[in-house]
Amino acid sequence: MTKILFDRVDDAYAFEAKDANGHSLRMDAAAAIGGHESGFRPMQTLLAALGGCSGVDIVSILQKQRQKISRFSMEINGEREQGKEPALWKEVHIVFYISGAVEEEKARKACSLSVDKYCSVAATLRAAGCRITWEVKVEVLD
C-alpha cells in the first residue's frame, strides 16, 4: 500500500504532500479563489503525473533498445470540461521531444506503447473519459 502524508502549510489553500521517502510536492489554489499560487494546482499535478509515468516508460523502452537519448522533454496541454463539477480532463495532448542517437520509428513505438498500453496514469484518465493524443518530434544526433 502506498502512503502519502498531506499537510496544510499556509492560511489559505497551500498543501504539501510527502511520500515515505521524504519527497515532497507542493500544491496550491489559483489566486482567483484565494490561493497564493505557491505550487501546482491539484489538476495540474495529474498532468505532471502523466508526464512522469509516460517518461519513465519511454526512457526505459528506448534504453532496452540501446537508443542513446541526449535530451528528453515533453509539453502537455489539457482542456477540462466546462460548466461541470467535478470538471474532469476532457482532452490532453502530449508532444514528446527526443534528441540523440535514436531511431525515429523506435521513438514513435516507445511513445505509443507508453500512452496506449503501459502508463497507468493515461489509463486512469481514459477511464474517466479523457481523450489523449500525442506526437513525437525526434532530433537525430550522431
Inter-residue contact 66 to 25 (CB < 8 Å): no
Residues 6+ apart with CB under 8 A from 66: none
Domain positions in the chain are 4-33, 42-140
User: Looking at beta carbons, which pairs linking 111-120 to residues 24 or more positions away fall under 8 Å?
Assistant: 111/54, 111/58, 111/136, 113/57, 113/61, 114/53, 114/54, 114/57, 114/58, 114/61, 115/54, 118/57, 119/50, 119/53, 119/54, 119/57, 120/53
Express each pLDDT in 61-99 by its tens digit: 999 999 999 999 999 999 999 999 999 999 999 999 999
Question: For the domain bounded by 42-140, which CATH number is listed?
Answer: 3.30.300.20
Q: Which pLDDT value is given to residue 142?
A: 73
0.85 cut: is pTM over it?
Answer: yes
